Every structure is written in structure tokens, then in C-alpha cells.
Amino acid sequence: MSMTDEKVKRINELYHKAKAEGLTETEKKEQALLREEYIASFRKNLRSQLNQIDIQNTDGSVENLGEKYGKKVIIE
């Protein structure tokens, strides 16, 4: 599930059309689906970045947050 440049462009097109003249019901549904996909992709990327963070403890040991917390960290 990745957001392509075309999908992001379409989200922006629908946004501008909604402000200028309004959207049809079909376009509103398309916009909602694209927004959901965008948010899911954003969350997945953020989760991936957070799981790559290493923390150095005061005793000098290094701990990976992804390994420490795994799927406990839920971003909503």
C-alpha cells in the first residue's frame, strides 16, 4: 500500500475542485478512499521509522525501540 505521485495529485485535484465548485457523490467517495489510503501509508511509514530508532542507555547499552516495543506502539 503505497501512495503514488498520481494518487497524491488526485487528492489535491479533488480538494481544489471541492473548494471551487463542489464534488459529486462519486468524487466524494473517491476522495474519502484516497484520504484513508494516504493516512494508512503515512502511519505505516512513521511506524517503520520509529522502529529503526536506537537509544543508548546510561549503562552504555544500545536498545532498539522496534525490538523493545514491537507492535505495542499504536499510532492513531
pLDDT of residue 71: 61
pLDDT of residue 74: 54
**Tens digit of each residue's pLDDT (9 = 90 or more) over 1-10:** 568 899 999 9
Look over the chain and give the mean of its residue pLDDT values, rounded to a whole number. 88
Q: What is the mean pLDDT of residues 66-71?
A: 75
**Tens digit of each residue's pLDDT (9 = 90 or more) over 13-26:** 999 999 999 999 99
Residue ranges per structural domain of the chain: 5-72
Please say whether the beta carbons of 53 and 64 come within 8 A: yes
Q: What is the mean pLDDT of residues 24-36?
A: 96
Other Cβ atoms closer than 10 A to 74: 8
